[in-house]
C-alpha cells in the first residue's frame, strides 16, 4: 500500500515536471499575444468614473473567465475531431479585430457627429453612465473572447501530440495567466492615480520621495491612457494580421522576405478597412431599404 502511494506521488511529480516545461514553452509562444491582449484590454477598461473602474474591470474579468470556460472544452474537442474549424474561427475573429482597429483609426480622422456631441461622464445621467458601461463591458468581453481563442489555440499547438491530461493542464494554466495576469496589471494601471494620491498623503513632508513618486504617477496616468489607446489599436491590427499570416500560408509565402511585424500590421490595416467598407456599405443599404 505504502509503495503504491509513493509511486503515485512520483507519477504526480513527473507529470508536474513535464507540465512545467511545456507551460514555459507555451508561455514563450503566447508572450506576444499576451502583450497585445494587455494593451487592448487596458485601453478597453479605461475611460470610466474613478469610483466605477474596479467594478467595471471586475465585470470584464468575470466575462473573460467565462470566455475561457466556454473556449477550452470546445478547443480540445475541435482540435481532436474538426481541426479545420479552429482555423475558420480564428480567421473570422481576425476579421473582427481588423475591423475594430480600422474603425478606431477612421474615427480618429473622421469623427462621427455623435462622438463630438457626446457629453463628459460627469455630465451624463446615472442611467446613461450605466448604459455606457454595459456597452464598453460587452465590447471588451467580445474582444477578449477573440484574443482568448488565439491565445488558447497557440498554447494548444505547442502541446500537440502530448497526452490529453498534459494538454488540458498546460493550456488551462496559460488561459488562467491570460486572465489573472493581464487583468491584474490592467487594474494596477487604471488605479495608478489613486495609488499616487495615497503616496502624496503618506506623510506631511513637502517634496518628499513619496510625494515625487505620487505626483509622477498622477500626472503620468493621462499619458498612459492615451498611449494605451494608440497601442491597443496597433495591437488589434497586429493580432489580426498575425492570424491571417499564420493560418493562410499563401500570404506568409507571398511576403516571406518582409519583416513579420510590418506584414502583420499592413495586412491587418488593409483587411480592416476592406471589412469597414463592406460593413459601412451594408449599413447604408439596410437603412435605405428600411427607409423605403
The more confident residue out of 83 and 281 is 281
pLDDT digits (tens, 9 = 90+) for 207-266: 777 788 888 888 887 787 778 778 878 888 888 888 888 788 788 778 878 888 899 999
Residue 115, exposed/middle/buried by CB under 10 A (0-12, 13-18, 19+)? Answer: exposed
Distance CA 274, CA 262 (A): 18
Determine the straight-line distance between the first and last CA of the chain, rounded to whole angstroms: 81
Mean of the per-residue pLDDT values of the chain:
77
Q: Which grid coordinates belong to 158?
A: 505547442
CA nearest neighbour of 107 among 282, 285, 272, 287: 272
Residue 3 clears pLDDT 70, i.e. is over it = no
| Residue whose C-alpha is closest to residue 232's, from 72, 65, 35, 68 | 35
Q: Is the overall model pTM greater than 0.85, yes or no? A: no
Q: What number is the average pLDDT over the span 18-23?
A: 60
Which structural domain, as residue segments, surrounds residue 209? 2-291
* DSSP SS3 for 182: helix
| Full 3-state SS string of 103-127 | HHHHHHHCCCHHHHHCCCHHHCCHH
Residue 283, C-alpha cell as written in the block: 449599413
- Say how far apart CA 288 and CA 50 lie, in whole Å: 41
Tens of pLDDT, residues 164-210: 787 888 888 888 887 888 888 888 887 787 788 888 887 777 777 77
Count of domains observed in the chain? 1
65's grid cell? 473567465
Look at residue 275 and tell me whether its pLDDT is greater than 90: yes
Task: For residue 258, give every residue at least 6 positions away whose Cβ sits within 8 Å of its Cβ, in sequence order, or none.
Answer: none
100/270 Cα distance (integer angstroms): 12
pLDDT at 171: 85
Cα–Cα dist 55/68, whole Å:
20
C-alpha closest to that of 66 among 142, 158, 150: 142
Q: What are phi and psi of 208, to 5 degrees?
A: -80, 175
Q: Percent of the chain scored above 70 by pLDDT?
A: 77
Residue 183: which H helix or E strand, with range?
helix 182-190
For 257, list phi and psi in degrees, rounded to 5: -85, -10
Q: What is the pLDDT of residue 272?
A: 94
Residue 32 is predicted with a pLDDT of 56
Angle 68-69-74 from CA coordinates, rounded to 5°: 90
Amino acid at each position: 500500500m505504502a509503495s503504491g502511494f509513493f509511486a503515485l506521488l512520483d507519477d504526480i511529480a513527473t507529470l508536474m515536471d513535464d507540465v512545467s516545461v511545456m507551460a514555459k514553452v507555451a508561455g514563450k509562444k503566447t508572450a506576444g499575444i499576451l502583450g497585445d491582449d494587455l494593451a487592448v484590454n487596458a485601453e478597453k477598461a479605461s475611460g470610466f468614473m474613478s469610483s466605477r473602474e474596479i467594478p467595471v474591470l471586475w465585470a470584464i474579468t468575470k466575462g473573460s473567465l467565462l470566455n475561457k470556460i466556454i473556449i477550452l472544452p470546445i478547443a480540445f474537442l475541435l482540435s481532436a475531431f474538426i481541426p479545420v474549424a479552429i482555423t475558420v474561427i480564428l480567421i473570422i475573429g481576425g476579421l473582427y479585430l481588423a475591423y475594430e482597429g480600422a474603425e478606431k483609426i477612421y474615427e480618429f480622422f473622421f469623427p462621427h457627429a455623435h462622438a463630438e456631441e457626446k457629453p463628459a461622464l460627469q455630465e451624463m445621467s446615472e442611467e446613461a453612465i450605466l448604459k455606457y458601461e454595459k456597452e464598453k463591458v460587452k465590447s471588451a468581453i467580445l474582444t477578449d473572447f477573440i484574443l482568448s481563442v488565439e491565445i488558447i489555440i497557440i498554447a494548444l499547438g505547442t502541446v500537440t501530440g502530448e497526452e490529453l491530461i498534459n494538454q488540458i493542464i498546460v493550456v488551462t494554466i496559460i488561459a488562467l495567466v491570460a486572465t489573472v495576469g493581464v487583468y491584474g496589471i490592467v487594474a494596477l494601471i487604471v488605479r495608478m492615480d489613486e495609488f499616487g494620491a495615497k503616496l502624496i498623503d503618506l506623510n506631511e513632508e513637502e517634496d518628499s520621495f513619496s510625494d515625487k513618486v505620487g505626483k509622477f504617477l498622477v500626472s503620468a496616468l493621462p499619458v498612459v491612457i492615451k498611449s494605451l489607446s494608440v497601442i491597443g489599436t496597433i495591437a488589434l491590427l497586429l493580432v489580426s494580421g498575425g492570424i491571417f499570416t499564420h493560418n493562410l500560408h499563401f500570404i506568409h509565402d507571398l511576403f516571406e522576405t518582409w519583416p513579420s511585424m510590418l506584414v502583420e500590421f499592413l495586412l491587418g490595416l488593409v483587411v480592416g478597412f476592406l471589412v469597414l467598407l463592406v460593413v459601412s456599405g451594408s449599413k447604408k443599404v439596410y437603412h435605405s431599404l428600411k427607409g423605403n
